[in-house]
Amino acid sequence: MRLARFAVWLAVVALGFQASAQAQVELNGQVRMDYRVRARGDHRLTWNENRLDLKVSARLSPKAAFFGETWIRSFGFPRAMQLEQLQERDRRAVQPWAIDLREAYLDLFGFLWSKLDVRIGKQRIAWGTADKINPTDNLNPKDFEDPLDFGRKLPVNALRMFAYLGGWTLELDYVPTFTPAVLPPPGWEIGETVRDWLPGDPHRYKLTCNLQLPPATLAKSANLGAKVSTTIAGYDLSASYAYVREDIPLPTRAELDLEGNTLAVTAELEFPRLHVLGADVAGQLLGVGLWAEVAAFRPESAVTLTIVPPLPGYQRHAVLPRRTYTKYAVGGDYTWRNGIYLNAQYVHGFYGERGKDGLQEYLLWAVEKKLLHETLKLRLGSLVQTPRIRDYSRHRTWILLPELGYYPVDNVELVLGGYAIGSRGRTTLSSFEGNDEVFVKMQVSF
């Protein structure tokens, strides 16, 4: 089925190239390779990805344009467990592969009104001015397939409208279908898991988690967003509102059952509604790039975990109170005359953190320097995290990311780098400890 869909997509691209002379069609993309191995223990291979990223854009007329992006990936390791799987025609058990339609949308300019543009289709709705960690960016679900790629989101089917009113832009977004987040792989858990909400020793449970997805109706499934933006004195400003569902589920019910000497727990998880008010600003001051972003989250109703049968003193537990909590990010970047580039950002409240008492503190920075006529690039990045600044001595996680990039020819990049991760106590990212890795990456752009 996926292969048939991809064939149709290629046919559309081919027809685009054969279209009328008025259509301006461009095809570009990247070839990416990413290999990772654990730096400790048995040096286990953890990531094996080869990806062809194809992008096609077509100016169909002065008032219409199309954009599409598809990933063709060989990703993962052989998973054949039976001899018959070595005989399968699609060879996915031997060489896992997938086709992922990332974006495909139509732009209509001056639609019904000269000051109105419309975008229809699968797309990334990127809100916010901060670097990757954007509190106001809530219309696309999170994609934690690669846990350290913090800014990655899943594109969604949506209708977007942009009205240009003098120096102001009004944006209205409608996402008809709810899509949950892609969670991190085992060993890279971010924040609290279902076991953390249950009483007693969570490692002694046999846990089953069932998701309660919202009904596929316009009222229950859709996400909505509105944003107004302008530029004042060289600074880009915006204010926004989103009515969305939390894309990482929360437990609302847990049924306990004793199976022999094992306690079996069946948990139900739901995706609560949120109201999100946001604002952001970005600009320059004395050559320094500056940005700030803030979002206030208000659950539509409180989320409570009910234990069945009730345990003494633990029948109902508040998972997410109906109280407003605020996330924000503040940062800047600067390039010195000698070519050294610095990027730094402070974040209060990470993806997946909820409630006033659940938000933690993050400091991220990276410094870069190009050498030898820009054929080499040295980069050192870091993340330091703690639940509260006053708790840093007892609870903290740090990540160090050194990289060496080499550019042998134009449009080709080779990177050697790694992650060094340390942790003390309990933090949102403490499960990352011990996952130190070395990686080799390649990218070819065309």
Domain check: are 86 and 173 in the same one? no
Domain check: are 100 and 114 in the same one? no
Domain check: are 222 and 91 in the same one? no
For residue 264, is it within any domain?
yes
For residue 421, is it within any domain?
no
71: Cβ–Cβ under 8 A, 6 or more apart, which residues?
51, 52, 53, 54, 98, 99, 100, 102
3-state secondary structure of 15: helix
Domain, as residue range, for 27: 1-104
Q: What is the mean pLDDT of each run of 10 residues along the chain (446 residues)?
A: 52 50 83 96 94 96 96 91 82 88 97 97 97 97 94 96 96 97 91 74 79 92 97 97 96 85 87 98 97 98 89 75 97 97 98 92 98 96 96 96 97 97 94 96 97
Domain check: are 115 and 130 in the same one? yes
Look at residues 295, 326, 359 and tell me which one is the last residue of a structural domain.
Answer: 359
Record the pTM: 0.89
Domain check: are 91 and 22 in the same one? yes
For residue 401, is it within any domain?
no
Biggest CA-to-CA distance, the chain? 76
- pLDDT tens column, 87-139: 887 788 888 989 999 999 999 999 999 999 999 999 999 999 999 999 999 99
Domain check: are 4 and 146 in the same one? no
Domain check: are 228 and 351 in the same one? yes
CA distances from 429 to 147, 228, 408, 424 (A): 10, 34, 36, 10
When divided into structural domains, the chain yields a total of: 2
- pLDDT tens column, 255-268: 888 777 778 889 99
